[in-house]
Chain A
């Protein structure tokens, strides 16, 4: 299994790297360096260096994985699929090759950004792999779900729908929820559902009196690792809780990867010709 995954990873990485899209991503990396780390401008801070390159890696992981998945979804890979003992091998190879390429582009940017860039201490350098890799893996797995390679029917709508709801929920304020409850309460009263209306009124008044945005915090919990990492970077140190953030992101990635593998294992392979 390891041999097959290694062979496929090498094949996908090489084919993407020397392709037109591979070259375009390299150009994008250089453009990003020129815009955000122009060596003629003043030396960036370490936090800026860590955050901007981490963000670049996350976005790049999404794009590269989308391209890689589209590449893997080609009809020329039917004979390869037949040779594999399990479809997991293909998904793993696509993910691994995407991550390898993303790391390559990120390293190019990171090394170029060091020209007239910040002086990184050993401590900062050791912080970089978990900080950069964890969100990168999550983005790559999400990109798999966005691709035709993995998706079955409405699966990507479900995955990204849940993500959209979580993002939307994160921004919900108590006031808006309270006014929604009041409107619903009026509607329920008009319909003659007095019990429901009274209960909704109760929710509305409770929400108006509460200072904390409960719903926002509930939904925002999912995105806590991203916030924790950003805060830790800007503070310049990790608290014990914040240090868990990369591990939690990797846990998300694992769950999403298992879902992707399950979808791929059960789908009819109709690769593009």
Chain B
């Protein structure tokens, strides 16, 4: 009975899996780009891939896109059929002589769009990335921001189930970044599975449902964004002056209390002692300027993971 129950849970989890990555390693000459990476990409997720330069993000994208072959392990679709993939590489390289509409029409043809739907598909993609007015412009004459949008537009051609976006906002101005984020959210709303990398933590926080941090070719952290940002909450108390005089008394209350300058940080069970600490401060003639319940930030998670 228990076995059947477990099996049905396992099956229902597998239904949502799109791509399974198991123990994948990749080496380029003496450089170990990826080492024993295991990930599950679930349908409808927006997975944010973070990591320092050279962490293996682009290699992972290329492996999923089928451009590279893993040395060990496997990357395979869960239901036996590869989902259609749209890939936006990090480098904004395109055939410069083509016009935007020509290039997108070619990508639509390669994606199997019937001839009668091609024009509409190109128009829709251009509308989505706000490039309609530049449809007849040559790619060589486009700015970096326009090329970034074009990269996304070509990835959207043929309505792929999975989008691999390598640094989609790189080179965009703040408005462009906001628009790109809005677009990714819209695509997520439409049920697309998206794997994106970025060096902008705000962007990852804003659009991703899941977080993976790679460092030195290994997965150092993976979690859902909600869980990542709600675990390890802490309380921050700010006094009006330096607390070194009573630091030893405060810290004696609980080992998870930290005193630094005029700040006291309470973590874990120590958060229950908030009232006592406040009372102690008032008794010791300190004024309390600020009390705040805080959560861990993505920057803190990232710094810890890549340390």
Contact = CB atoms under 8 A, between A and B. Distances in A.
Contact of A75 (B93, B151, B164): B93
Interface in B98-150: 106-107, 109-112
B93 A74 contact: yes
Contact of A268 (B67, B111, B151): B67
A273 B91 CA distance: 8
A81 B67 contact: yes
B97 interface: yes
Nearest to B115: A3
A35 interface: no
Interface in B32-71: 62, 65-69
B86 interface: yes
Contacts of B154: 79
Interface string A169-209: 00000000000000000000000000000000000000000
B110 A78 contact: no
Interface residues of B, number: 27
Contacts of B87: 78-79, 82
B95 A76 contact: yes
B89 interface: yes
A78 B107 contact: no
Contact of A79 (B68, B69, B88, B112): B88
Contact of A18 (B89, B97, B110, B155): B97
Contacts of A80: 107, 110
Interface in A11-54: 11, 15, 18
Contact of B112 (A3, A8, A269): A3
Contacts of B217: none
A235 interface: no
A83 to B, nearest CB: 4
A75 B89 contact: yes
B158 interface: yes
B91 A79 contact: no
Could you say which of B69, B109, B151 has the most chain A C-beta atoms within 10 Å of its C-beta? B109
B68 A269 contact: yes
Contacts of B109: 3-4, 7
Contacts of A4: 109-110, 112
A266 B86 CA distance: 21
B264 interface: no
Contacts of B89: 75, 78-79
B94 interface: yes
A214 interface: no
Contacts of B155: 79
A84 interface: yes
Nearest to A84: B110
Nearest to A11: B106
B85 interface: yes
Contact of A83 (B68, B93, B94, B111): B111
Nearest to B92: A76
Interface of A: 3-4, 7-8, 11, 15, 18, 74-76, 78-84, 266, 268-269, 273
18 contacts: A3-B112, A11-B95, A11-B106, A15-B97, A74-B93, A75-B89, A76-B95, A78-B65, A78-B89, A79-B86, A79-B88, A79-B154, A82-B66, A82-B164, A83-B110, A83-B158, A269-B67, A269-B68
For the complex of A and B, list the 8 residue pairs with the smallest distance between their C-beta atoms, beginning with the closest: A76-B93, A83-B110, A82-B87, A7-B109, A269-B67, A268-B68, A82-B65, A75-B93
